[in-house]
Each structure stands twice: as C-alpha cells, then as structure tokens.
Amino acid sequence: MFNIVIFGKPGSGKGTQANFLKEKYSLYHISTGDLFRKNISNKTKLGIEAKSYLDKGDLVPDSVTIKMLENEVLSNKKVNGYIFDGFPRTQNQAESLDSFLSSINLKINATIALDVSENELITRLLDRGKTTNRSDDQDIEKIKNRFNEYNTKTSILINFYNKQGKFYSVDGKGSVNDITLRLFSLVDSLI
C-alpha cells in the first residue's frame, strides 16, 4: 500500500491534484471536507456532533475528525492506498494519524506540498470565488487569514515529516497538466 498526504495553502490545487493521483495510482481519496459533509448528511453520531460545533462557528475537535477518518479507512480496506487531503493539519493530527495507521500495519509513505506564492494563490482564489460563489474566496482579508492559519499550524508539518524523511515539495505553478506531470514523476520515483 502506498499512502500519501497532500497539502498546501488554500487554492494550491490539492483537491484537483488529489483526484489525478487517485485515478492514476488507484488510491482511495479521503478529504476531511467530504467526510464532514457525508457524516452530517447521513446524520451519523459523529456527523451530528461535528454539526453542533460547525453551527456555532467553532472548529470540529480533533477527536471527532480523527474518528471519522479512522472509520473511513476501516470501511475501505481493499484499496491500493490512501490519499489524505486536508488532513492532517496540525502536528497533533499527524501524530494521531501515524498512530492509527501503525495500529493497522500501515504508514504514510510520502507527504507532498504544492508550493505556490501567496500572490498567485490570491489571484486563483478570487477567480474561483467568481465562479463558485464561495464567500471565503471573495474576500482578500479572509483569504489572508486562511494563509495565516496554514502558516502557523500546517506548515509545522513540514518539519514533522521532514524528520521522517517523507516530505516532498512540488512546484505548484503553471498549468494543471504541468503540475500533474511533476507529481506523477515524484510518485513514480517513490513507488
């Protein structure tokens, strides 16, 4: 099994590239946003609990998010590997993921960050906001706040995974196809 964590700042193309990686390598794509929506719409116990936090504008606690992720992995065991998109976002989540995977004899093989300048990302997000009507993609201050969240919390994961020899950065500038080819080249060299 080959398991990947893909991360990068908002607008870096994580979701798009995760789908390409999923298709090419037959990986099971786990997005925390999709997990929340699935559990909430199915009114699972975890979904109801997550919704209670989201309705108040609070972050869903790690314990709930991690349990959803564990359930998703355990419910989809017959795969070639997993691609984790949007998780982990903090060192605590990364440690929990490592511990859980270890308990079922799996591990993260690679973490891949899509590297794009914040100026480029602002342009991308504002463009995306025009077509998707996502309010968080239409306000520069909200965008910068999301970058700050990433810079203060998620970027710590670079050191965490670097110490394990599992961190890789891919240039996220250029056409979608160019970025995809760079990712495929990296993953092919690791398998």
Q: Rounded to an integer, what distance in angstroms lies between the CA atom of residue 132 and that of residue 128? A: 6
The letter for the amino acid at 69 is L
Kindly tell me the sign of the dihedral angle through the C-alpha atoms of 135, 140, 145, 148. Answer: positive
To which H or E segment does residue 6 belong? strand 4-7
Q: What CATH class is the domain 4-183?
A: alpha beta
pLDDT of amino acid 152: 85
pLDDT of amino acid 49: 94
Mean pLDDT per block of 10 residues along the chain (191 residues) reads 92 92 96 89 94 82 93 94 91 94 97 94 88 79 85 86 96 95 96 89
Please state the pTM of the whole predicted model: 0.87
pLDDT of amino acid 180: 97
